[in-house]
Amino acid sequence: MTTAKTFSATSVQASNAATPYFSQPIIITSLEQNIWQQLEQEIVRSLQRLHCSRLQDSTLLLLHKIITNLVKTMHRHAFQRAIEDDLNLDISDKDSIFTELLQNELSMHGDRNIRKFCRANNFQITLIFPEEKDTLIQIEYPTSCNNSAYLDNKLAKAIGFILVKQTHDPSSSYSRAKVVKNTAIQSFRPEQAGYSQLLTQTEELDKAQAIFSQLNHGIVVFSSVGDILAISPAILTLLKLETALPSVHTFTNIIPDHFYNDVLWGLALESQEGLFENYRTRIRLPHNNNLSILFNISGYRHSDTTIHTIWQVVSLDHKATDTLAEGSILNEARVHNITRNYIPQLVEEKAREVVRLGGHTLPNEECQLAILFCDIAGFTTYVENNEQEESVIHTLNLILGKITKAVKKHGGIIDKFMGDCVMALFKEPHKSVLAALEIHKHSYDFNSLRMRASRDLLLLRIGIHWGKVIIGNVGAAGRMDWTTIGDVVNTASRLEKNCYPGAILVSEELYAMVTHAHATDISFSQPFYLKLKGKRNEQMARYVQTEDEPFLHDTVAHSARQHLKTD
């Protein structure tokens, strides 16, 4: 596989008259490139220049759609050409056999081979951020993708942007388009006289009634024992029932039992006023049990003990509705608050980003990361010897808590805990070493106290490596991990295993990145070679010097070699 084309990370820099800002183009050959954070930084700057920063999320969603369409179309054309070149076939990308071949390729290899072909044949999408009036972004793309270059018209119109395609140059295989402000749309500001107003109670009721009718909400009044006393015909119509009294009995029978238990004799009794909000229940259509409607229900218990409820449709007859939970949203929030600590921070952060960009699944990505592994040397033996003397879980959590705090402080993310081992990710190599030094300091202080108390020392080993990794979906339906994989991860783990207890061992690749960043606050030992398990070639590595061990580059490096010989 050819080396991926690299491009400098952009950042929003403080502007001044003496130092103009020059942004780097973003070159895209795959949706698995981690370009969204970089794109967001540039879009923030462009929106600030256009005086519409509040449009950040909606603008990113808009651009995400156009970029995704262009890349997918480019990949289809690239795959078509690759088939024609390799198999000498004349095949249309609209043929069913072509679609099947493409799906098989993506299922087996992702877009790796197609991405490689795009780079070799100069197929790419280029994003440029010109300092031009009313221009948000300029997009250059293969002319064969021209029909895929469009904006979501409703969203674009709502936020005041249009796509302007420039006249195609016949001598070029690339086309160009710009996303610009629609100057024909008047922008109102809240501070303009007469724009904002406070509603009177009568106006508020009128508007509420209009909204109620437009959203097709319905009302159901229950007796305290669960009989329906009154109902909006609209609900019966939604369930494809006749708007007649016999249908009310049918509706009563298809309401799930948990609704009566939770709402009529549960939520409505919890508070003195009997108020409840955002309870969800699924109603199966009586004439087609494969179809259902998920309702959101709010209401209150009246002084005469009847329960008045308002029903709102959440989803209707979609296959995906089964993934929407029933019950109280408040309870769902409580469950989330319990489970979120068990969900990797990396997954939660990426999921939020995906939802913000209109996506539904976590994508596979390639990016450059520093991978840090840290574990407690001899922890298994410690557990065997001290299980009766002290709380092993309490001690472990104390150490892991200090590690987690240091990682987060320096911009890292905990990918996973594996017993007494921690795996953390850093976008900036320099900060991974700073985090390791802080972890080392905490360990030094912690073990000083244990030494005074005549307890066994719990020394930490830390290994760090830098390089290109793949963050992707691993597992099967029902149990998935979105985690970091690749040789860089394996090497970082091997470095940690070969690190002398109480020290920090880094690869030469990470050392080069840190010194390139002119990190004068970090000192390293002289380099030496290690034979890592499962690796053909020896790995050059260095120890990080720590304040309490100024002799590290001599003593620890020697000790590490002796340590390796005994393993």
Poorest-confidence range of 83-87, 116-120, 342-346, 469-473? 342-346
CA neighbor of 5 nearest in space, from 37, 42, 33: 33
Select the more confidently predicted residue: 22 or 473.
473
Top-ranked range on mean pLDDT: pick from 119-128, 143-152, 165-174, 532-541:
119-128
**Phi, psi of 141, rounded to the nearest 5 degrees:** -150, 160
Q: Is residue 54 pLDDT above 50, yes or no?
A: yes
d(CA 509, CA 161): 44
Looking at per-residue confidence, does 92 or 254 come out higher? 254
CA dihedral 228, 230, 234, 240 (to 10 degrees): 40
pLDDT digits (tens, 9 = 90+) for 259-289: 888 877 776 566 667 788 888 888 888 888 7
CA 42 to chain centre: 19
Percent of the chain with pLDDT over 70: 84
Tell me the chain's radius of gyration from C-alpha atoms. Answer: 30
Query: Is the alpha carbon torsion for 10, 13, 15, 18 positive or negative?
Result: negative
Expressed in angstroms, the distance from the first to the final Cα of the chain is 36
pLDDT value, residue 320: 43
How confident is residue 292, by pLDDT bands cut at 50, 70 and 90? confident
pTM of the predicted protein model: 0.64
Taking phi over 0 as left and psi of -120 to 50 as alpha, with beta for the rest, 122 belongs to left
pLDDT of residue 105: 87
Under 8 Å between Cβ of 25 and 126: yes
Over residues 541-559, the mean pLDDT reads 60
H or E stretch at 276 = strand 276-285
pLDDT score, position 470:
87
Please identify which residue in the block is written with the tokens 């900036």.
428
Domains of the chain with bracketed CATH: 26-181 (no CATH), 201-336 (3.30.450.20), 348-566 (3.30.70.1230)
Query: Residue 137 has which token pair?
Result: 């972004």
* Local confidence band at 7 (pLDDT 50, 70, 90 cut-offs): very low
pLDDT of residue 476: 77
Q: What is the mean pLDDT of the chain?
A: 82
| pLDDT value, residue 271 | 63
pLDDT at 17: 38
pLDDT at 82 > cutoff 50: yes
Q: Assess whether pLDDT exceeds 70 at residue 131.
A: yes
Length of the chain: 567
* Gap between the Cα atoms of 503 and 520, Å rounded: 19
Both tokens of 470, joined, read 């793949």
pLDDT of 389: 66
Mean pLDDT over residues 455-460, rounded? 88
**Which of the four pLDDT bands, split at 50, 70 and 90, describes residue 195?**
low
Residue 389 and residue 475 in contact, taking contact as beta carbons nearer than 8 Å: no
> In this predicted structure, what is the pLDDT of residue 565?
42
Q: How confident is the model at residue 125 (pLDDT cuts 50, 70, 90)?
A: very high
357/493: higher pLDDT? 493
